[in-house]
Chains A and B, each alone.
Chain A
Amino acid sequence: MENFIDYSKLSVGQLLCKKSIEINSNLVKNYLESTQDSSEMISDLDGNEYIPPMAIAAFGLQIVIDYLKIPHGTLHVGQELVIESPLIIGELIDYEASIATNSVRNNWRFVTIEIISKTTEKNIVMTTKSTITMPVITPDHQGINHD
């Protein structure tokens, strides 16, 4: 029971977690290969390549999924990205995740998580909102988590 998270108690505006990640060339290479992305890499004037924006969003979302111990079978139903600035491969990103909405409809919980990613100089790189949905569960029904 110690791993159980009561998702009904997640309140709007609640800060969930902060984590820093260096998205290095190896992570980007694996990401591009797995998504079969054949678009040309965009570089700055010095030839430094930028991280694909969806990779920044995907790595940020994963931090929250791990933190919240999202039940297996949870579905991703919506995604929003507002890009503020491109980021060069190898730079450190500070992610900060909070709850944007938390509601129940037809016995399914819908949670929207806002993730702000910043450079170490505190410049915003991107703000994302990810909406996930999971069956409403209680501690008594933890067995259906399939964890």
Chain B
Amino acid sequence: MTKIISTSKTINKTDIEKYASAAGDFNPIHLDESFAKTTQFGKCIAHGMMVAASISEALTAQFGINWISKGHLKIRFKSPVFPGEQITTTGELKKNSLNTFSVKVTKNNNQVAITGEASIPKKNEVKNEL
């Protein structure tokens, strides 16, 4: 398995509002257009953790219990995701590695929103520890 199955979704304003309520993060940079206009982005942006959730979703779909038991993820937020933008999450096994994947969330304008890497232990390593 050298690639993580790619997933895509569109982040809407409603999703951002739902995420704010679900996570309790009401920072106006995500919700208040007039405040967001005063920031470097000029408009509301999605929560970073909301976008990052797509990586965990892809890893859960592919690696299941191995990911949610002993996974390791390190990511950088490179550019914001604006309401209405589509994001695609991809991953690829790193060269010379057995279980570390480079992961990426890309927007429909090809800008990278998140980059990083994820390590997932092998099945027997998880079974022995659970």
**Quick one: which of B19-70 are within 8 Å of A by CB?**
19, 21-25, 27-29, 35, 38-39, 47-50, 52-58, 60-61, 64-65, 67-70
Q: In the assembly, what is the distance between CA of A62 and CA of B24, in Å?
A: 7
Q: Is A31 an interface residue (CB 8 A)?
A: yes
Chain A interface extent, by class: 35 or more
Question: Counting CB contacts under 8 A, is A42 at the interface?
Answer: yes
Task: Indicate if the CB atoms of B68 and A86 lie closer than 8 Å.
Answer: yes
A39 within 8 A of B: yes
Contacts of B3 in A (CB 8 A): none
Q: Which residue of B lies closest to A51 (CB)?
A: B68
In the complex, the chain A residue whose C-beta lies closest to that of B9 is: A36
- A85–B23 touching, CB < 8 Å: no
Q: Shortest distance in angstroms between A47's beta carbon and chain B's nearest beta carbon?
A: 14
What is the CA–CA distance of A33 and B21 in the complex, to the nearest angstrom?
11
Shortest distance in angstroms between B6's beta carbon and chain A's nearest beta carbon?
13
Do B21 and A30 touch (CB < 8 A)? yes
CA distance A80 to B117 in the complex (A): 10
- Seen from chain B, the residues whose Cβ lies within 8 Å of a Cβ on chain A are 9, 15, 18-19, 21-25, 27-29, 35, 38-39, 47-50, 52-58, 60-61, 64-65, 67-77, 130
